[in-house]
Amino acid sequence: MRNKIKNYRIFSLFAIVAIISISSFLISCEQDEIYVAPPPPGGCDTVNVTFTVTIQNILASKCVSCHGSAGGVDLNGYANVKTNVDNGKLQNAIIPGGSMRSLLSSCDADQIIAWINKGAPNN
């Protein structure tokens, strides 16, 4: 009889420990799932950046008026933009202190740099 009580106590102790560890495991999993990265300051999306949706629009509205096909730096169309990425001119012009930096918002510049860092894909 005594042994049975002792076994029962050990079992309940074990059960309590198991319940606590399982529930804390579940809680931690749940927190992982509901965790959403806070939006970057200013709500600038540097993750979903594509040439056709993001980069081309920035360049078309802020750069192509001077950098069309009339010689010099041409930022019209993917092939020309890629040329100026590959030779480093675009990056140099838009990083802080770059000659064209003041024409862009910091979000524009961050998005262009993010796209270049992904290998400047034609997407």
Please work out the total of residues on this chain that contact ligand HEC, with binding judged by CB under 6 A.
17
Would you count residue 55 as binding ligand HEC (CB under 6 A)? no
Instruction: Work out the angle at residue 20's Cα, subtended by the Cα atoms of residues 16 and 24, and round it to the nearest 5 degrees.
Output: 170
Tokens describing residue 20: 């606590």
Give the residue, chosen from 49, 51, 55, 100, that forms a contact with ligand HEC under the rule CB under 6 A. Answer: 100
Would you count residue 81 as binding ligand HEC (CB under 6 A)? no
Pick the closer one to ligand HEC by CB: 50 or 62. 62
Place of tokens 């979000």: 107
Would you count residue 39 as binding ligand HEC (CB under 6 A)? no
Give the residue, chosen from 55, 84, 110, 116, that forms a contact with ligand HEC under the rule CB under 6 A. Answer: 84
Give the residue, chosen from 49, 54, 67, 120, that forms a contact with ligand HEC under the rule CB under 6 A. Answer: 67
Give the residue, chosen from 46, 76, 83, 92, that forms a contact with ligand HEC under the rule CB under 6 A. Answer: 92
3-state secondary structure the chain: CHHHHHHHHHHHHHHHHHHHHHHHHHHHHHHHHHCCCCCCHHHCCCCCCCHHHHHHHHHHHHCCCCCCCCCCCCCCCHHHHHHHHHCCHHHHHHCCCCCCHHHCCHHHHHHHHHHHHCCCCCC
Would you count residue 73 as binding ligand HEC (CB under 6 A)? yes
Tokens describing residue 89: 């001119």
Instruction: List contacts with ligand HEC (CB under 6 A).
Output: 62-63, 65-67, 72-73, 84, 89-90, 92-94, 99-100, 103-104
